Amino acid sequence: MTTDKKSLRPSATFPQDVLDEIHRAADQGIYEIRGFGAKRDLPTFDDLVLLGASMSRYPLEGYREKCGTDVILGNRFAKKPIELKIPITIAGMSFGALGANAKEAIGRAASELGTSTTTGDGGMTEEERQSSKTLVYQVLPSRYGLNPDDLRRADALEVVVGQGAKPGGGGMLLGHKITERVAAMRDLPQDIDQRSACRHPDWTGPDDLEIKIQELREITDWQIPIYVKVGATRVHYDVTLAVKSGADVVVVDGMQGGTAATQDVFIEHVGIPTLPAVRMAVEALQDLQMHRKVQLIVSGGIRSGADAAKALALGADAVSLGSAAMVALGCNRDVYREDYETLGTAPGYCHHCHTGRCPVGITTQDADLEKRLEPKQGARKLRNYLMTMVLEIQTLARACGKTHALNLEPEDLTALTVEAAAMAQVPLAGTSWIPGKNK
Amino acid sequence: MKTFDLNVDPVRMVNQELHDSPVGGFSINSPEGRHCIACGVDAEIDVTIDGHVGYYCAGMNKLASIQIAGNAGPGVAENMMSGSVRIKGNASQYAGASAHGGTLIIEGDASSRCGISMKGADIIVMGSVGHMSAFMAQSGRLVICGDAGDYLGDSIYEADIYILGETGELGVDCIEKKMTAEHRDSLSDLLIANKIDRSAKEFRRYGSARKLYNFNIDHADDY
Ligand code: SF4
């Protein structure tokens, strides 16, 4: 009997991927846990374009006229603010989720370019302190490995309230990544599934956080800046409360932000995209008259100099990279194909950081796999990528007539879609219409 | 012995002096509930605080011996690494939260979440503790001479809880465990070393059933 083509009509409500997921859930009885970030289609900085100078504004000469990219972070209270040569930092990624070689490669590249790296859940490793000239030390709900010596040898602290991939969720590191060293750093038994808390153990709410920040300042003798990181949800309120709590720098991580292991349902369905988050954060700072006084770092799906330039134009002081930095190190590169296949995936599709079997040696604790990422070579690749981003930012800023990347402004932007115009609050291209603002 | 009066000397100045002193004894008067007193100390100094303290007193203490002749606000001795902190009165929430080492002694009662996320410290409460104490406690010992509120040891890892009095409803994955001779001896040493007039024989031990260590769908009701 031949199949009637009409009877092969797919369901819009139950397309093949939905059917597959229901079958998988029925077989396994547990949500999917995976790495990487949101894979769904979301409004991004691609929906904005920059308005280059012509008659009404003068562009700067490429390569000849200077376009600055340096940025100072955390000069509100700290005696030693962070001075970066480029407005791109490396976001927090834990030793445990990442191997030591990846952490070292990231530290080397960032240091060469005069920017900062960030620790993650699990504490500070000697390798990353040694390789990172400027290191931001995260204070997380789990407090794994947290100690006053590392607080004092950090260049800044970052109190993590949430992250874009899972605002409201705690950390997760599956048993096969808890090696002896990782277990010792976290004071946990080996091989267990580590579920770290989603709330800090010793404060709740902004009034407590204000005192917590005071304690961290006292312990570090008011020397270093204190950042507060939030996952993008109710951004206006969260940024306002972070500033009220005394943050020197606010980090806002959009829903495209990556993770080493989180429930897929969390990654795809909680939080808002980075695009509206930047604008909401800037508005909150402006309402408090703290824009540029408390600096704003934006992360979550930043991939290129264009993304960074647009985030800066919306009012961010710097952007931060996690996933993109890993891609520069070789994530999803078309090598070791058979190892991707063993994981049931292929180059370009991998989100298997949670397995600890990273084919390119980044998110693994396996000694043989780790050898695939030689720290110096990895550092060179990441440095090249960051340098490319900086050149792109300068190209775009000069085209808009700016002598410094931070001089980019919302006026330099226009939106290609109504959604992006509404989210970024810049006019729809070819109109002066900003949805919600004017007619 | 150097004396400070917090009605005159700012907390910042006093903490800086404590941080800059490798040895010595210090007396701090008029704390009057101020926050962050004597936090971040990193030397074998003796500090006595005469009165009630606010949040995070003796936070992240290393090496120092700190006495609080009064009650302590939330987060006393949080993330302590070593040394000792002794409170004559009661302690508020999160006492000894995530403490990695050292000894915290609370002569009165402790409020909720005492020893939350503790990572190796010894915490001795001569009175009772509030609910959710030793939540996600990873290692170390929480010794309770009185009673414990509900959900004691919820999601506990490898920490040991010793208790003399009653427990309320136990936390998820927390069970009563056998008091072996080894546990009794080590508890006895701890009590003697800290001049606690109780016999280790009277205590019961609680710890992890280890059912939550690796996800199992058949235990989903516990999550
Ligand atoms: S290649 Fe490695 S880092 Fe990239 S998604 Fe796969 S496991 Fe993660």
Q: Provide, as residue numbers in chain A, all residues whose Cβ is less than 8 Å from the Cβ of B213.
A: 175, 189, 192-193
The pLDDT score that the predictor gives to residue B62 is 98
Give yes or no for residue A323 CB within 6 A of ligand 1. no
Q: Which atom of ligand 1 is nearest to the CA of A357?
A: 7
Residues B87 and B6 in one domain: yes
Q: Provide, as residue numbers in chain A, all residues whose Cβ is less than 8 Å from the Cβ of B158.
A: 188-189
Q: Higher-confidence residue: A59 or B17?
A: B17
Q: Is residue B116 part of a domain?
A: yes
Query: Is the minimum CB–CB distance between A220 and chain B shorter than 8 Å?
Result: yes
Give the position of tokens 């990219």. Answer: A69
Residues B95 and B148 in one domain: no
Q: What is the pLDDT of residues B131-163, one digit of tens each?
A: 999 999 999 999 999 999 999 999 999 999 999
Query: Is the minimum CB–CB distance between A25 and chain B shorter than 8 Å?
Result: no
Residues B61 and B154 in one domain: no
- Kindly state the helix (H) or strand (E) to which residue A173 belongs, with its residue range: strand A172-173
Q: Is residue B127 part of a domain?
A: no
Domain residues for A206?
A: 34-424
DSSP A10: P
Question: Which residues, numbered 86 to 145 in chain A, qualify as contacts with chain B under a Cβ-Cβ cut-off of 8 Å?
Answer: 142-143
Alpha-carbon distance of B179 to B211, in angstroms, equals 20
Q: Is the pLDDT of residue A34 over 60?
A: yes
Residues B113 and B223 in one domain: yes
| pTM greater than 0.80 | yes
Q: Residues B101-109: contacts with CB within 8 Å, 24+ apart?
A: B101/B140, B102/B61, B102/B62, B102/B77, B103/B194, B104/B76, B104/B77, B104/B80, B105/B194, B105/B196, B106/B72, B108/B71, B109/B146
The pLDDT score that the predictor gives to residue A413 is 98
Residues B99 and B116 in one domain: no
CA of residue A169 to ligand 1 center, whole Å: 21
Give the position of tokens 């003798």. Answer: A221
The pLDDT score that the predictor gives to residue A182 is 80
Give the position of tokens 């705690």. Answer: A170
Q: Is residue B170 part of a domain?
A: yes
State the pLDDT confidence band at A121, using cuts at 50, 70 and 90.
confident
Nearest residue on chain B to A209, alpha-carbon basis: B55
Are B15 and A218 an interchain contact pair (Cβ–Cβ within 8 Å)? Answer: yes
Query: Closest approach of chain A CAs to the CA of B139, in angstroms?
Result: 7
Query: Is the minimum CB–CB distance between A263 and chain B shorter than 8 Å?
Result: no
The pLDDT score that the predictor gives to residue A94 is 87
Give yes or no for residue A358 CB within 6 A of ligand 1. yes
Q: Is residue A19 part of a domain?
A: no
Domains of chain B: total: 2
State the pLDDT confidence band at A2, using cuts at 50, 70 and 90.
confident
> Average pLDDT of A172-189?
78
Q: What is the pLDDT of residues A407-420, one digit of tens each?
A: 999 999 999 999 99
Alpha-carbon distance of A307 to A323, in angstroms, equals 14
Nearest CA to ligand 1 atom 6: A350
The pLDDT score that the predictor gives to residue B215 is 67
The pLDDT score that the predictor gives to residue A439 is 58
Instruction: Compute CA A379 distance to the chain's CA centroid, rounded to the nearest angstrom.
Output: 19
The size of the A-B interface in CB pairs under 8 A is 108
Q: Is residue B210 part of a domain?
A: yes
State the pLDDT confidence band at A171, using cuts at 50, 70 and 90.
confident
Q: What is the pLDDT of residues A350-384, one digit of tens each?
A: 999 989 999 999 999 999 999 999 999 999 999 99
> Helices A274-287 and A235-244 sit at what angle, rounded to 10 degrees?
40
The pLDDT score that the predictor gives to residue A69 is 98
Give yes or no for residue A262 CB within 6 A of ligand 1. no
> Average pLDDT of A155-175?
88
Residues B47 and B92 in one domain: yes
Burial degree of A8 (CB within 10 A; 0-12, 13-18, 19+): exposed
The pLDDT score that the predictor gives to residue A191 is 78
Instruction: Tell me what percent of the residues of chain A surpass a pLDDT of 90.
Output: 81
> Average pLDDT of A190-196?
78
Are B12 and A218 an interchain contact pair (Cβ–Cβ within 8 Å)? Answer: yes
Q: What is the pLDDT of residues A246-265, one digit of tens each?
A: 999 999 999 999 988 889 99
Q: Higher-confidence residue: B67 or A171?
A: B67
> Helices A375-399 and A100-112 sit at what angle, rounded to 10 degrees?
40
Q: Is residue B194 part of a domain?
A: yes
Residues B35 and B115 in one domain: no
Q: Is the pLDDT of residue B220 over 70?
A: no
Q: What is the CATH number of the domain that holds A237?
A: 3.20.20.70
Q: Is residue A206 part of a domain?
A: yes
Query: Closest approach of chain B CAs to the CA of A206, in angstroms?
Result: 14
Give the position of tokens 């960074």. Answer: A308
> Average pLDDT of B21-37?
97
Residues B155 and B62 in one domain: no
Query: Is the minimum CB–CB distance between A22 and chain B shorter than 8 Å?
Result: no
Domain residues for B166?
A: 109-122+132-223
Q: Is the pLDDT of residue A199 over 80?
A: yes
The pLDDT score that the predictor gives to residue A192 is 78
In angstroms, the first-to-last Cα distance of chain A is 60
State the pLDDT confidence band at A7, using cuts at 50, 70 and 90.
confident
Contact B45, B27 (CB under 8 A): no
Q: Is the pLDDT of residue B8 over 80?
A: yes
CA of residue A361 to ligand 1 center, whole Å: 8
Are B36 and A192 an interchain contact pair (Cβ–Cβ within 8 Å)? Answer: no
Residue A187 neighbours by CB under 8 Å, 6+ apart? A144, B100, B119, B120, B138, B139
The pLDDT score that the predictor gives to residue B84 is 98
Alpha-carbon distance of B126 to A56, in angstroms, equals 76
- Mean pLDDT, chain B, whole residue set: 95
Q: What is the ipTM of this complex?
A: 0.96
Q: What is the pLDDT of residues A269-317, one digit of tens each?
A: 999 999 999 999 999 999 999 999 999 999 999 999 999 999 999 999 9
Query: Closest approach of chain B CAs to the CA of A191, in angstroms?
Result: 8
Q: Is the pLDDT of residue A68 over 70?
A: yes
Q: Is residue A344 part of a domain?
A: yes
- Mean pLDDT, chain A, whole residue set: 94
Least CB-CB distance to A148: which of B36, B60, B155?
Answer: B60
Q: What is the pLDDT of residues A202-231, one digit of tens each?
A: 999 999 999 999 999 999 999 999 999 999
Domains of chain A: total: 1
> Tokens at residue B214, please?
């690796």
Instruction: From B51, B70, B105, give the residue that closes a domain.
Output: B105
Q: Provide, as residue numbers in chain A, all residues whose Cβ is less than 8 Å from the Cβ of B117.
A: 142-143, 197, 201
The pLDDT score that the predictor gives to residue B217 is 60
Residues B190 and B202 in one domain: yes
Alpha-carbon distance of A166 to A36, in angstroms, equals 12
Q: Is residue A201 part of a domain?
A: yes
Residues B81 and B118 in one domain: no
Residues B96 and B118 in one domain: no
CA of residue B168 to ligand 1 center, whole Å: 46
Are B98 and A146 an interchain contact pair (Cβ–Cβ within 8 Å)? Answer: yes
Q: Is residue B175 part of a domain?
A: yes
CA of residue A35 to ligand 1 center, whole Å: 8
Q: Is the pLDDT of residue B223 over 60?
A: no
> Average pLDDT of A58-83?
94
Residues B213 and B114 in one domain: yes
> Tokens at residue B37, please?
């007193």
Least CB-CB distance to B94: which of A148, A175, A201?
Answer: A201
Contact B74, B96 (CB under 8 A): no
Q: Is residue B82 part of a domain?
A: yes
The pLDDT score that the predictor gives to residue B221 is 59
Q: Is the pLDDT of residue A323 over 70?
A: yes
